[in-house]
Structures are given as C-alpha cells and as structure tokens.
Amino acid sequence: MLSRIRIAAAALLAILAASSLAVRVMAADQSGELAATQRQLAQVQAVLRDAQANAAAVTAALDQANAAVATARQRLQDAQGRLEAARAMRTAAEAALTQVTARTQATQTLVDSEVRAAYMSGGTSSLSMLVNAASLPELVDRTVTLDQLAGSSRDTLRLLQEQRREVATTRAQLAGIEQERAAATSAVAAQVTGLEQIQALRQQAKQKLDAKIASLASQAASLRAHSTELRQLIQQEQQQQAAAAQLGSAPSPPSVGMVGGLCDLSSTSAAEHWIIMHESGGNPRAQNPSSTAFGLGQLLLGNRILYLGKDYATVDCGKQLTAFRDYVRDRYGTAAAAQAFWEAHGWY
C-alpha cells in the first residue's frame, strides 16, 4: 500500500514538474515576444520623434511661406490701390483736358474771328474807329477800347499757348501713370504666383508628414497595448503555475461523445457553439501553430493547466468543454458576453 502511495506521489510530482516546465517554456516564449515588441516600439518611437522634428521644421517653413504670401498680397493690394488712384487721376485729367480743349477751341474761335475782321476791313478797322469818332470824348473812349482789345488779344494768345502746353503735360502724365501701374501690377502678381506655388508645395509636404506621424503614433499605441497585454499574460501564467500545485479534485466532466472525429456540441448553448466553431470547428485536437492554444476553446497552456490540472493535454471532449465553460465564466461571466467580445476583437 505504501509503495502504491509512493508511486502515485512520484507520478503526481512528475505531472506537476512537467506542468511547471511547460509554463516556464510558455513564459519564456512570451518574454521573448515582449522583448521583441519593446525593441520594435523603441524603433517606432525613434522614427516618430524624427518625424515630429521634421514636422516642426516644415510647419515653420510653411508659416514663413504664408507670411511671404500675405506680404506679397498686401503689396498687390497696394498696387491695385495705386491703380485705382491712377484711374481717378486719369479721370480728373481727362476732365481737365476736356475743359482745356473747350477753352482752347473758344479762344481759337475768338482769334479766328478777329483775324477775319481785320482781313475784311483791310486791316484798318482800328484806324476807322478813330477816324469816325464824332467828338473828342468819343475818340478817347474808342482809343481806350482799342487798347483793351489789343491787350485782350495778347492775353488770349498767351492763354492759348499755356493751355496747349497743359494739354501736352497732362497726356504725358497719363502715359507715365499707366506704365507704372502696368509694371507694378505685373511684377507683384508674378511674385504672388511664385509664392503661392511654394506655399502649396509646403502644405502638401506638411500633410504627408502629418499622415506619417499619425500612422507612427498608431503603431506605437498598438505596440504599447500589445506589450501591456504580454506582461499581463506573463503575470497570469506565473500565478497559474503557483495555483496549479494547489488544485484539488474537480467534479466529473459531462460525458460528451464524438461524431466523425468532432465533439458532439448538441449540449452547448448557441453562444458556446458559436465560439467553439469559430475557434476549433469542434475538433478537440485543434492546435494553433503560432501559440500554445489547443482544443475546443483554444485555451492557452496556462489556462489549460489552471482549469484541467494534470489533464491539461487531454483530448476528452467533456473535460475540454468543462474547462472552456470555466474560463468563459471566470473571464466574461456569460458565453453571450464572450461571443460579443470575440465579434468585436476577433479573439476572446
């Protein structure tokens, strides 16, 4: 009897040692994955810092381009203001020119009239006025009138010359104003066009860099989340290793048969059936090649040791179903909640 007890104890110790070894191997695998994830995270963060520094430089350059465009547009607006002023000056000059031209024509008409009168009278009209005076007072009056007329003619001729010079000067001013306006507008418009092209290129560069930064930030966040999850799994499996040695006898699992190499899932709920079919298709030997997930519910090795103890490698449908249900109960409360989580994340 004592020998059988010793044999049983030795077998139990062997099972526990194997379980402990399996957990340590799994923890080592996850520790390696954690280290790789942290290295990848460090690389992404380094690239992200460089991109953010570049983004600051591009933003500063874009601000400079915006300021230059604003200055050039202000200059263009000033040039347009000068253009409006030149147009107003031109309008005023044209009005003045019209008035001067009218006065010139009137003066020319008056001179022409006097010339015709002198021609018609044989050039002696003034002398006739003096000879035909009836009395000395009338002679004096006519002499004063002729003197005033002669002075008026001289003033008219002088005014005519001044007005003609004013017309020429006004036309020259208008030509200069138009040339200045055209040159200023053309130069500033070309400058604005060039600066706006630079501004557009820098804006495109900033948009691309912002997109790159957003992508890197998303990658960094995903890697951080994965790193945290790995740490939690390592801690959980270490706790499971300690708990595995303290497992007592578990209630007998339900008897579940097999049909065509697959477990009979007729006793499962709709949510349980949905999860199992998405995880293993009902195959108790289903193995995930990239992890320790195994069986109906694809439980990781740590969870199988926690819920199955020495039978962590069993292919018994009833035992696997019981372990699956215990895991769902402890983690999600209900199979419906577990299914909802699976649909949202692609795992449970």
- Tens digits of pLDDT across the chain (348 residues): 434 434 444 444 444 444 454 445 455 566 777 777 878 888 888 888 888 888 888 788 778 878 887 887 887 777 777 767 767 776 776 776 677 667 767 766 765 676 566 545 544 455 555 556 566 666 566 566 656 555 655 676 677 677 778 767 877 777 777 777 777 778 778 878 888 888 888 888 888 888 888 888 888 888 888 778 777 777 776 666 655 555 544 456 677 888 888 999 999 999 999 999 999 999 999 999 999 999 999 999 999 999 999 899 999 999 999 999 999 999 999 999 999 999 999 999
The DSSP result for 298-322, as a single string, is: TB-HHHHHHHHGGGTT---HHHHHH
In three-state secondary structure terms, 261 is coil
Distance, CA of 49 to CA of 138 (rounded, Å): 111
Size of the chain, expressed as the number of residues it contains = 348
CA atoms within 13 A on the CB side of 325: 14
pLDDT of the residue at 29: 61
Asked if 311 and 319 touch (Cβ cutoff 8 Å), the reply is yes
Distance, CA of 213 to CA of 207 (rounded, Å): 10
Q: Please give the biggest Cα pair distance in the chain.
A: 184
Distance, CA of 262 to CA of 318 (rounded, Å): 12
